[in-house]
Amino acid sequence: MKNKKRMGNPAAAAAATAAAKAAPAAAKGAKQVNKDTKGALSWLVVAGVGVGVFLIYKIASNAGKITNVVGSAADTASAALDELTNIITDPNPNASDSPLGNTGQSVITITEVEAQNRANMLLEAMDRFGTDEERIIAALTGITLADYVLIAEKFGTPRYDGAGHGMWPATKRKLSYWLVAELSDYWLNEINAMLAGVFGNNK
């Protein structure tokens, strides 16, 4: 089921998009009016542009504040991914003193090509208006924790703006951050049921 994103500000994003689309037409119209009135409205155009920039700034600021609501949990998940990566790459990750024990979770069972395909699937499922939870679960089904680390490596650190893949100055984020920011607790629990420890419970 494709639901609305857990976080992000769709209304703000829509408003910002509308403002961006309207700007060229407004500028063209203002230019013609300015010509017809021999420059009498130039000051008004400048003021209007200033107000527009301010409104877009406020929209972006509010979107950032909303994203920060889950920032802490997502940052924790991102840190857990770093820890998991270190465990997986340990020379003897299945040793008795390893958090993974002898569970076989340190074994990679997919190819790098498959890992890249799953990473692409995950980004596509989250980089949209609404999150495709079933596609995310499908991409993470039948893998080990070592596979997850490889998928996260292929996923990289796309910039996340609270609604999907953003541009600078949106911050670069790892896969675990994206998942926690995009999914409800129900779906995060589904992932943990398949990959216990992926969000930090390496017991």
Give tens-digit pLDDT for 43-64. Answer: 544 445 554 544 444 344 434 4
What sign does the CA torsion over 110, 113, 117, 122 have? positive
Rounded distance, CA 31 to CA 67, Å? 38
Which of 92, 196, 200 has its CA nearest to residue 144? 196
pLDDT of residue 68: 47
Query: What number of other Cβ atoms are within 10 A of residue 45's Cβ?
Result: 16
- Overall pTM > 0.75: no
Q: Identify the residue with better confidence: 165 or 89.
A: 165
Q: How far is CA 116 from CA 99, 137, 154, 170, in A?
A: 26, 16, 5, 23
**One-letter identity of residue 27:** A
Query: In terms of pLDDT, which residue wins out, 160 or 21?
Result: 160
| pLDDT above 70 for 112 | yes
Confidence of residue 7 (pLDDT cuts 50, 70, 90): very low
Whole-number average pLDDT of the chain: 73
CA distance 174 to 158: 7
Exposed / middle / buried, residue 174 (Cβ in 10 Å: 0-12, 13-18, 19+)? buried
Kindly tell me if the per-residue pLDDT of 66 is higher than 60.
no
- Distance in angstroms (rounded) separating the CA atoms of residues 198 and 74: 12
Query: What local confidence, expressed as pLDDT, does residue 183 receive?
Result: 92
What pLDDT is stored for residue 197 in this prediction?
A: 77
pLDDT at 76: 86
> Any idea where the domains of the chain sit in the sequence?
2-67, 71-194
Percentage, residues of the chain above pLDDT 90: 32
116-172 confidence digits (pLDDT tens): 999 999 999 998 778 999 999 999 999 999 999 999 999 999 999 887 788 888 889
CB neighbours (10 Å) of residue 167? 7
Is 90 exceeded by the pLDDT of residue 14?
no
The pLDDT of residue 198 is above 50: yes
Compute the average pLDDT of residues 19-27: 53
CA–CA separation, 111 and 71 (whole Å):
32
The DSSP element (H or E) to which 50 belongs, if any, is helix 42-67
Q: How many residues does the chain have?
A: 203
The 3-class SS string of 112-145 reads HHHHHHHHHHHHHHHCCCCEEHHHHHHHCCCCCH
Based on its alpha-carbon atoms, the radius of gyration of the chain, rounded to whole angstroms, reads 22
What is the pLDDT at residue 42?
A: 55
